[in-house]
Amino acid sequence: MSDHHPLAIQGAEAPTLTQDGITFRDLNKNGRLDIYEDPRRPVAERVEDLLVQMTLEEKAGLMFHTMIATNPDGSLENPPGPFQLPSPTEMVAGRLMNHFNVFNIPAPRQTALWHNRLQKLAESTRLGIPVSISSDPRHGYTHNPALAAAAAAANFSQWPEPLGLAATGDEALVQEFGDIARQEYLAVGIRVALHPMADLATEPRWARVNGTFGEDAQLSARMTAAYIRGFQGETLGRHSVACMTKHFPGGGPQMGGHDAHFTFGKEQVYPGNNFDYHLIPFEAAFQAGTTMIMPYYGQPIGLPIEAVGFGFNKDVITGLLRNKYGFNGVVCTDWGLLTDMERDGKVIMAARAWGVEHLSREQRAKKVLEAGCDQFGGEACPEVIVSLVRSGQVSEKRIDLSVRRLLTDKFRLGLFDNPYVDVDAAETICGKPAFRKAGELAQRKSMVLLKNGKPGAGKVLPLQGKPKIYVEGIAPAVAAQFAQVVDNVEQAELAILRLNTPYQPRQGGFLESIFHAGDLDFKGEEKARILSLLDRIPTVVDINLERPAVIPEIADKSAALLADFGSNDAAVLDVIFGRFVPTGKLPFELPSSMEAVQKQKEDLPHDSENPRYPFGFGLRY
């Protein structure tokens, strides 16, 4: 593949390259090099040269960053599904959009083909502005099909969730993760990471704790900075993946642990007067050079600022982010602030326009711009911006300010020099053995040993030899590589039980039924079943902590207790059988009861009364 965007100097040869049926031609339709295409010129000059050529419609298209679907065969046809998005052709050639958040992706080769076809489509537009593809995390274990906020690793290397990275306490490991994820993203054309989450998990019931680095601001700050360095490098360039750090100024202190995706969870509260504490990880992100920032949906209550969602909040975006911190990069709203989500003509999710619900879509967009944001996440209505400018409500000069920032990132990432990816290399790079090995090691390093034996009974772990074991939540075929697996408890010498953090299933709408929120303790028949097993046989319990589980009885009755944050069965058994010594430390405390959780203040860390296991706890063999 050539080292420059297929727009070449006037009079030059017009060589072509065909790859998997796509022909890339090094000559644009005008047969000349537009001045903004010359990589020898400073980025600022190239931005201005392009900006003066853009129509209002082209500028408006640049300011929308919405979802896009991939077809398993790598074509640009939308795949079937319950939520039909506009086609790529309509969005790129019709609405002149060129920032897209990709949903689930197929195998690396097909993803790379799809990406190149999308860039070819963008090249056919009047100015040939290349597409920027973004993604939520893709290297962990969590998969949320509605949010696209976390896609479980498939063809990429698989690592623990951010909580697990934090549990290692190892900045070098986190930077290594970022560097490996960067290479895998680049291979398939993903150039913007809609992460890391610098939010603090000070409210343990919050459904998005799993995406954070825990509740401690200093730990989160170290992890956030290392993460960004891994993805972006020391400076943003053609080998970088730009980070959109979220959710400024910290989305963790949600009232009662409810999430601001929903009307009932829109309030963000600070009963401990601890607003500034939540800024500490973002300060580290600024120092590390994060390219972009995303504010959260939350509506701040009880603060001396306007009580509107952060994406609409001039006090926060201009006053705090722009003026106090001097951040001059792109600010993109969280998804869906302007438009209700509909299916079959029915609203299934209202726009997250908290505090400004009474405003029209155009008025909401104007308020977002006045707040200081540059881009509308999850929206595909550039005509709203065109209308605001043509009606005199917003100046084109204001639009130019945001467009400059957006173009600057595209130029710095080298997208104008060559937006295409090598399809063959994508297959080789994604999930390569060395990357998978690093992820496997990180899974083991992230595990936390919470208990090893009952008082006066001696240590249980590591297990020795090949005992007869009964397993639940572990693949018997994997367990058989470590021990003799039996079918019932009566035949076993001990049991190994893997659990997930409890949550309260909800029967609400589109997203509500998917979010893992609410109480953190096991209840009813499930709790009784677990405790019955622990009474019948010595049991090693491993629990996946996507939130801080409340498990005092399980802790009491277990023979040994471990926590993981995204580890496969082999990784868990390696620790249990002593093939790997546990080194992880809890990135949050585990409360002693739900009553203690309910007494906590949403914005304070480490404030649970008599926690069963404190922040930073972790045993070793």
- The whole-angstrom separation of Cα 550 and Cα 611 is 9
Exposure string (b/e) for 5-23, b if CB count within 10 Å is 16 or more? Answer: bbbbeeeeeeeeeeeeeee
Handedness of CA 159, 161, 162, 167 (dihedral sign): negative
Are the CB atoms for 100 and 86 separated by under 8 Å? no
Please identify which of the residues 259, 334, 542, 574 carries the catalytic annotation.
Answer: 334
- The whole-angstrom separation of Cα 213 and Cα 601 is 19
Handedness of CA 23, 25, 28, 31 (dihedral sign): negative
- The whole-angstrom separation of Cα 567 and Cα 330 is 35
Q: Between vectors from CA 119 to CA 241 and to CA 423, what angle results, nearest 5°?
A: 70
Q: Give the distance from CA 295 to its chain's centroid.
A: 14
Are the CB atoms for 608 and 589 separated by under 8 Å? yes
Exposure string (b/e) for 292-314, b if CB count within 10 Å is 16 or more? Answer: bbbbbbbbbeeeebbebbbbbbb
Residue 243 backbone phi and psi in degrees, to 5: -95, 130
Phi-psi region of 333 (alpha: psi -120 to 50; beta: other; left: phi over 0): beta
- Angle, helices 396-412 vs 361-371, to 10°: value is 70
334 is catalytic: yes
Are the CB atoms for 499 and 471 separated by under 8 Å? no
- The whole-angstrom separation of Cα 431 and Cα 437 is 9
Radius of gyration of the chain from its Cα atoms, rounded to whole angstroms: 25
| Kind and range of the H or E run holding 5 | none
- The whole-angstrom separation of Cα 98 and Cα 107 is 23
Strand partners, 496: 471, 540
- Angle, helices 280-288 vs 217-232, to 10°: value is 20
Are the CB atoms for 536 and 489 separated by under 8 Å? yes
Residues 6+ apart with CB under 8 A from 321: 248, 249, 293, 295, 327, 331, 372
Name the CA dihedral angle for 242, 243, 248, 253, rounded to a multiple of 10 degrees.
160
Are the CB atoms for 381 and 361 separated by under 8 Å? yes
Question: What percent helix, strand, coil does the chain show, rounded to 5?
Answer: 35, 15, 50
In one letter, which amino acid is 218?
Q
| Kind and range of the H or E run holding 566 | none
- Kindly report the number of other CB atoms within 10 A of residue 481's CB atom: 12
In one letter, which amino acid is 40?
R
Are the CB atoms for 542 and 498 separated by under 8 Å? yes
Task: Give the active site residues.
Answer: 334
